[in-house]
């Protein structure tokens, strides 16, 4: 990924204080004075850079002008939703509180910060000693040079957001986690929630969890309680979270690690993509002992609960796609499928009864980010595990020898959305599938077989091959899939394998299910 740093003042771009950011984080520091407005609209920059970091020094002389410019740029942010924008506000220390408040209100009215690709923050790590009137007058840099080191802290933090892999599932305890006190001991009326100081902390914690849910994080429960009392408590105390916000909640008297193992299996998720939150250190230790790769957060102090959510980078998600917002709905669809499969058993008649429909979708501006997300976040059923930057994937799309296609899926339970990305490379009469990734929530229902069938029927007369790079992330589902009789091993080199795809009866018969 490449990043561009700009501002409304002279950034002293040649100063060696920027060297770490330039080299380690593949960033360019703007050498123009007050160029941010034009940089964000620059077409060449938009092709080249994945994120823009804009430092805005604000005083009485430029507050009104800056507000107008940001208002104008609102359309640019919207138009380039696949980019990430970070606006850093730096107020002159002599600026009065009323002016600051007025500026914040202006930003609020612009509704900029509600956009998922725009982050706005105030730089608070600069005290008066970092401001320099002489530098402001002579260099158009209103700070001491040491201030650059403070700027870098903010940039590095946000670059970490872009590169970190967010959790997929948050599993929570109830007592002393979602509310204060033990429900069975205190009763619904006397648990801490919402009213007093401690109660407000638990309400704020639930509010933060709801925000995460809306960004696509899944919420679940593994708690030793009576389930009817838990749902009744949430309802009667008018809690922020309710039963509908959780996927496969396990509220019972079994061991928590057993519940969690069951949930991971049902959702087909890896432990390393999941975090368990509990106030009880013994339970935390036990879960970690039996599920070694799971992430855990010990809420030993309720006052730190919200802080722990806000400071853990894996709870950050700078870009939120429409598919993320539907995540809970899609996993609930999966749960209905699993439930019916358990009742009816696995048979081709069962799969026919699902009324599954999948089709090719051409890559376009509206689904490009989803294609990128599938390649970069899918592990278990990802043939290449190639990770792409936006610019690299666009370069592939623009190459006439390559083709990128997406697949969606619908069944009688609902719309699963775009669930697969695939890249083909054409070489004369041969077509190589270089990348093939499918969301794990729809695996093992003949969807992946049918997609292979659709692919090889695109160009009849061509020979088709698929590449597999084996790693510890994709070494279970794919090797089993490759045992099907429409794959024939063609080449093998260390952990890389090339298979020819044969149009067998087994593959042709798959279309009868769809």
CATH number at residue 360: 3.40.630.30
Q: Are 199 and 193 in contact (CB under 8 A)?
A: yes
pLDDT digits (tens, 9 = 90+) for 1-56: 889 999 999 999 999 999 999 999 899 999 999 999 999 999 999 988 989 999 99
Higher pLDDT residue, 319 or 504? 504
Place of tokens 């408040």: 101
Same-domain pairing of 349 and 260: no
Residue 480 lies in a domain: yes
What average pLDDT is seen over the chain?
89
Last residue of a domain, one of 163, 192, 210: 163
Residue 344 pLDDT class (50, 70, 90 cuts): confident
| pLDDT value for 212 | 93
Same-domain pairing of 251 and 141: no
Higher pLDDT residue, 206 or 504? 206
Residue 105 pLDDT class (50, 70, 90 cuts): low
pLDDT digits (tens, 9 = 90+) for 469-492: 999 889 889 999 999 999 999 998
φ, ψ (nearest 5 deg) of residue 88: -110, 115
Residue 14 lies in a domain: yes
| pTM value > 0.75 | no
Last residue of a domain, one of 118, 133, 163: 163
Please give the average per-residue pLDDT across 112-122, as a whole number.
Answer: 69
Residue 152, token pair as written in the block: 């870098």
Residue 477 lies in a domain: yes
Same-domain pairing of 157 and 181: no
Task: Give the separation between CA 36 and CA 62, rounded to whole angstroms.
Answer: 14
Residue 404 pLDDT class (50, 70, 90 cuts): very high
Count of beta carbons in the 10 Å neighbourhood of residue 389 = 14
Task: Give the separation between CA 315 and CA 309, rounded to whole angstroms.
Answer: 6
Residue 99 pLDDT class (50, 70, 90 cuts): low
Whether the per-residue pLDDT at 111 is higher than 60: the answer is no
CATH code of the domain in which 267 resides: 3.40.50.1000
Same-domain pairing of 187 and 205: yes
The SS3 of residue 507 is helix
Please give the average per-residue pLDDT across 105-119, as a whole number.
Answer: 61
Same-domain pairing of 137 and 221: no
| pLDDT value for 123 | 85
Task: Give the separation between CA 216 and CA 369, rounded to whole angstroms.
Answer: 15
| pLDDT value for 457 | 85
| pLDDT value for 100 | 65
Residue 187, token pair as written in the block: 């009763």
Whether the per-residue pLDDT at 321 is higher than 80: the answer is no
Same-domain pairing of 359 and 390: yes
Same-domain pairing of 393 and 504: yes
Count of beta carbons in the 10 Å neighbourhood of residue 324 = 19
Sign of CA dihedral 298, 304, 309, 311: negative
Domains: count for the chain: 3
| pLDDT value for 76 | 87
| pLDDT value for 102 | 67
Whether the per-residue pLDDT at 74 is higher than 90: the answer is no
Same-domain pairing of 311 and 376: no
Residue 422 pLDDT class (50, 70, 90 cuts): very high
| pLDDT value for 152 | 93
pLDDT digits (tens, 9 = 90+) for 167-223: 999 999 999 999 999 999 999 999 999 988 899 999 999 999 999 999 889 999 999
Same-domain pairing of 15 and 129: yes
Mean pLDDT lowest for which of 38-52, 220-234, 313-327, 337-351?
Answer: 313-327
Residue 330 lies in a domain: no
CATH code of the domain in which 101 resides: 3.40.50.1110
Whether the per-residue pLDDT at 65 is higher than 70: the answer is yes
Residue 337 lies in a domain: no
Residue 324 lies in a domain: no
Higher pLDDT residue, 64 or 26? 26
Residue 137 pLDDT class (50, 70, 90 cuts): very high
| pLDDT value for 174 | 96
Residue 320 lies in a domain: no
Please give the average per-residue pLDDT across 338-354, as a whole number.
Answer: 85
Same-domain pairing of 283 and 382: no
Q: Can you say how many angstroms the Cα of residue 273 is from the centroid of all Cα atoms in its chain?
A: 11
Same-domain pairing of 377 and 463: yes
Long-range contacts of residues 475-481, Cβ cutoff 8 Å, at least 24 apart: 476/380, 477/380, 477/381, 477/440, 477/443, 477/444, 478/380, 478/381, 478/383, 481/381, 481/448
Same-domain pairing of 185 and 149: no
pLDDT exceeding 70 applies to what percent of the chain? 95
| pLDDT value for 103 | 64
Whether the per-residue pLDDT at 449 is higher than 80: the answer is yes
Residue 413 lies in a domain: yes
Containing structural domain, residue 134: 3-163
Whether the per-residue pLDDT at 299 is higher than 90: the answer is yes
Residue 310, token pair as written in the block: 């806000």
φ, ψ (nearest 5 deg) of residue 504: -90, 170
């Amino acid at each position: 990924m490449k990043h561009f740093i700009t501002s409304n003042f002279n950034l002293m771009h040649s100063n060696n204080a920027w060297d770490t950011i330039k080299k380690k984080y593949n960033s360019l520091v703007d050498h123009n004075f007050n160029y941010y407005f034009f940089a964000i609209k620059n077409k060449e920059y938009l092709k080249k850079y994945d994120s823009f970091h804009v430092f805005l020094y604000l005083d009485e002389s430029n507050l009104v002008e800056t507000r107008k410019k940001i208002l104008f740029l609102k359309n640019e942010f919207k138009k380039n939703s696949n980019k990430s924008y970070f606006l850093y506000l730096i107020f002159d220390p002599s600026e009065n509180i009323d002016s600051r408040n007025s500026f914040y209100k202006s930003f609020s009215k612009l509704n900029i910060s509600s956009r998922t690709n725009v982050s706005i923050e105030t730089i608070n790590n600069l005290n008066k000693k970092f401001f320099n009137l002489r530098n402001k007058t002579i260099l158009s840099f209103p700070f001491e040079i040491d201030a650059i080191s403070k700027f870098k802290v903010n940039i590095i933090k946000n670059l970490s957001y872009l590169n970190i892999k967010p959790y997929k599932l948050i599993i929570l305890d109830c007592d002393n986690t979602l509310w204060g006190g033990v429900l069975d001991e205190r009763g619904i009326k006397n648990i801490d929630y919402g009213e007093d100081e401690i109660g407000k902390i638990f309400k704020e914690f639930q509010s933060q969890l709801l925000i995460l849910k809306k960004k696509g994080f899944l919420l679940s429960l593994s708690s030793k309680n009576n389930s009817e009392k838990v749902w009744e408590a949430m309802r009667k105390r008018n809690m922020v979270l309710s039963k509908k916000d959780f996927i496969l909640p396990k509220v019972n008297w079994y061991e928590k690690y057993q519940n969690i193992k069951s949930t991971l299996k049902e959702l087909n998720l890896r432990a390393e993509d999941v975090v368990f939150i509990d106030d009880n250190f013994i339970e935390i230790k036990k879960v970690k002992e039996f599920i070694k790769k799971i992430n855990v957060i010990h809420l030993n102090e309720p006052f730190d609960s919200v802080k722990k959510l806000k400071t853990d980078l894996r709870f950050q998600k700078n870009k939120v796609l429409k598919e993320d917002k539907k995540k809970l709905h899609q996993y609930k669809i999966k749960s209905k499928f699993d439930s019916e499969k358990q009742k009816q058993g696995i048979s081709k008649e069962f799969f026919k009864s699902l009324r599954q429909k999948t089709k090719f979708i051409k890559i376009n501006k509206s689904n490009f980010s989803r294609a990128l997300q599938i390649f970069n976040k899918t592990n278990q059923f990802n043939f290449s595990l190639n990770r792409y930057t936006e610019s690299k994937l666009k370069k592939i799309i623009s190459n006439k020898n390559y083709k990128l296609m997406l697949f969606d899926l619908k069944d009688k339970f609902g719309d699963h959305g775009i669930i697969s990305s695939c890249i083909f490379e054409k070489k004369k009469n041969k077509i190589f599938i270089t990348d093939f990734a499918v969301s794990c929530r729809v695996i093992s229902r003949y969807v992946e077989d049918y997609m292979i069938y659709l692919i090889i029927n695109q160009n009849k007369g061509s020979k088709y091959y698929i590449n597999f790079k084996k790693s510890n992330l994709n070494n279970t589902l794919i090797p089993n899939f490759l045992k099907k009789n429409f794959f024939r091993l063609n080449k093998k080199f260390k952990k890389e394998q090339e298979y020819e795809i044969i149009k067998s009866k087994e593959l042709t018969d798959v279309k009868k299910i769809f």
